[in-house]
A and B are shown apart, each in its own frame.
Chain A
Amino acid sequence: MLEVKNLTKTLPNGRRLLDGISFKVKKGEFVGILGSSGAGKTLTLRCLNGLLKPDSGSVIIRDEHDRPLDICKINKRELRRVRQKIGVIFQGYHLVKRLSALENVMIGKLGQINTFRSLFYGFTDTEAEQALKALDKVKMSELAGSMTGNLSGGEMQRVAIARAIFQSPTLLLADEPISNLDPSNAKTIMKMIKPLSEHMPVIGVFHQPEMTAKYCSRVIAIKEGKIIYDGDPKLSNKRLEEIYGEELELIEQQEHLLAAIAK
């Protein structure tokens, strides 16, 4: 359960990046945030796990004792504690390239284990086993030992998902998880993220309305820092034009491409 209330963020020059963003997300929902570049999608997502502090507004999340916590107002120490339970999948390339895939998965639990133990990479056998299981879920267990930098974009993104699974969060955030991938890899990744929403709310930023229409349970569209649509993921052409302006043609092309691949 996550509640976002009235987020605003203004640049020193007066430009409004976020302008009263509010929404609620429950367990079981897979929310896709759409919008053209610079609309404030990623900024919103970064506010949700405290990587960015908004000028005003609040992000309420429930901690393990079911107490409400406002991510925008807590101190660094509490923020670290809250973040243990927030999984993130970034837009590719956020994994540590010179560590193995397995070690990158282990990083998911860094906040939860003893610091001193973690500094010596002292993971227990059970933890290693769970990490391997997580890798197995995304069909990457065979590549567990290989250096992450040598993996392909799709494989890296699967490791990132395994990392989130291993972390066992209560909220999952995904920032453009499929933008660097080809359509078929993108589909695989979406298929892997979707079932996670049964256990926790999943919020993702996407550039592909055809993907969100297919896999998400709800779509939020942001334009110039404001929510202009919140509801059914299947968007009409008119709605798409409202969101993207003239970029519509490109999207239709992508749909053709996807249909061709599906055949």
Chain B
Amino acid sequence: MQARMYSFKRYRKFILPLIILLAVTEGAAIICGATFGKLFEGLYRGIAFFGNMYPPDWSAFSEMLEPALQSIVIAFLGTVFGALMSIVFALLAASNLSHPWVRAITRFLIGLERSIPEIVILILLVAAFGLGAMPGVVALSLGCIGMLGKLLADIIEEIDPLMIESIESVGGNKLQVIVFGVLPQIIPNIISYTLFRFEINIRLSVLLGAVGAGGVGYELDYSFGMLQYHRAFTAMIIIIAMVFATEQLSYYLRKKLKMEGALK
């Protein structure tokens, strides 16, 4: 007997979840006052606004290069310091290297960091350090720990225990186990994840710039605030080019990276 392809029975189990999803969506839309009418209205206004911004103010281009560079430097420094701190955190958070208590505390700190958005860290840091690049770098460094620390710790835990035992069994101490048994195995992963984090940090550094870390994000925010829309458009073009270029560079470098024999 041939099974009926479009029998109602086959789709029965999808009906209830679908109704719940639609109901929740509708409820959420009512709460925040979103309607399709408003969506199209807003889109129309947005496009009209975009027309006002055109053409970009190219005279501002040269003076924005320095803030753009500043944004890149903030992201770069944040990533470098962040990655270094993450390695330390990851080593402490790996079950095969550290004491269960140390691991539990470090894992908790990493999770805690991951649950705090970078922008909240930055606002707290601006209160401490004042406006400028410094709080941006620190915020991005701390922001790395939540992600890189966890990813690297998980990678370290996957290392073959025999490899660690074989170094311990010639009389090597913990530091030697890390330097000879652990780091060589995870260096490709460190580089790959760090490059990926650099992409994220470039985008974040623009965002943080608008909140007070300086750089090209600040230029964008400032131009909008002063109603200089043509100037803001230039900043947008620079930001998009910057993000696109770093993503391509990072993608290229990660592809070039040799993962031979490394944990993937």
Contact = CB atoms under 8 A, between A and B. Distances in A.
Interface of A: 49, 51, 80-84, 86-88, 90, 93-99, 103, 107-112, 115, 118-119, 147-150, 163, 167
B173 interface: yes
Contacts of B160: 93-94
Contact of A98 (B166, B168, B187): B187
Contacts of B260: 98, 147, 149-150
Contact of B170 (A84, A98, A148): A84
A119 B170 contact: no
Nearest to B261: A149
A16 B224 CA distance: 77
A85 to B, nearest CB: 8
Contact of B261 (A81, A90, A150): A150
B169 interface: yes
Tell me if B's interface is mostly helix, strand, loop or mixed.
helix
A143 to B, nearest CB: 15
Contacts of B170: 83-84, 86-88, 107-111, 163, 167
B163 A94 contact: yes
Nearest to A169: B170
B191 interface: no
Nearest to B179: A119
Contacts of B162: 90, 93-94
Nearest to A91: B162
Contact of B176 (A98, A115, A163): A115
Contacts of B166: 88, 90, 94-95, 107
Given A94-B166, A103-B180, 6 more contacts: A83-B171, A96-B181, A97-B185, A98-B184, A119-B176, A150-B261
Contacts of B187: 98
Interface residues of B, number: 24
A94 B170 CA distance: 12
Contacts of B261: 97-98, 147-150
B173 A95 contact: no
Given A94-B160, A94-B163, A96-B181, A115 B168 contact: no
Contact of A111 (B172, B179, B181, B262): B172
Q: Of residues A80, A82, A147, which shows the largest number of chain B Cβ atoms within 10 Å of its Cβ?
A: A80
B171 A115 contact: no
A98 B169 contact: no
Contacts of B169: 49, 51, 83, 86, 88
By Cβ-Cβ distance, the 5 closest A-B pairs, closest first, are A111-B171, A149-B261, A84-B171, A94-B166, A83-B171
B121 interface: no
Contacts of A109: 170
A95 B172 CA distance: 14
A241 to B, nearest CB: 32
Given A115-B175, A119-B175, A150-B261, A110 B184 contact: no
B64 to A, nearest CB: 43
A115 B179 CA distance: 11
Interface string B174-200: 011001110011011000000000000
A90 B180 CA distance: 17
A145 to B, nearest CB: 14
B158 interface: no
Nearest to A86: B169
Contacts of B163: 93-97
B165 interface: yes
A93 B163 CA distance: 8
A79 B180 CA distance: 20
Contacts of B175: 115, 119
Nearest to B171: A111
Interface string B90-111: 0000000000000000000000
A108 B168 CA distance: 10
Nearest to A119: B179
Contact of A107 (B167, B173, B188, B262): B167
B171 A98 contact: no
Contacts of A87: 170
